[in-house]
Homo-oligomer: A and B are copies of this chain.
Amino acid sequence: MNIAISNTSEKPIYQQLFEQISAQILKGELESAYCLPPIRQAATELRVSIITVKKAWEELERHGLIYTVTGKGCFVTELSSDDMLQKRNDMIRMQMIIDTSYYKSFGLTIEEVFELLKEVY
């Protein structure tokens, strides 16, 4: 459980958990079939509510990144490197569509986006 929760962030806690664990899974940092901590334990460790952990886990399951067995626990889905790359790019693309709609509303060309990206990345 290598998670950093920001209370000042505008993002809800469950979203932060979901994104960080997603990234860890899709970067291959968590082994397949690795068992996540029990939600009660995770909630205690992270000092958040069980509901908050549950919502994050639900998001992970909805994205096919983990699967749940009542009474046993939650486990990381086994994915090939290709599948992981595919899922990662899918998630990034979805976010990019939202991000770029903002850039487009200001009339930026893709070349201008590239220029500014080089400055901030």
Contact = CB atoms under 8 A, between A and B. Distances in A.
Interface of A: 19-20, 22-23, 26-27, 88-89, 91-93, 95-97, 99-100, 102-108, 110, 113-114, 116-121
A20 B27 CA distance: 37
A117 B95 contact: no
- Give the interface centre of A19, A26, A96, A105 by most chain B CB atoms within 10 Å: A96
B120 A96 contact: yes
A110 B117 contact: yes
The 6 closest A-B pairs by CB, nearest first: A99-B99, A110-B121, A23-B105, A96-B120, A23-B106, A27-B107
A interface, by DSSP: helix, strand, loop or mixed? helix
Nearest to A121: B110
29 contacts: A19-B105, A20-B105, A22-B106, A23-B105, A23-B106, A26-B106, A27-B107, A88-B106, A89-B116, A91-B106, A92-B102, A92-B103, A92-B106, A92-B108, A92-B116, A93-B116, A93-B119, A93-B120, A95-B99, A95-B102, A95-B103, A96-B116, A97-B120, A100-B117, A104-B121, A110-B118, A113-B121, A114-B114, A114-B117
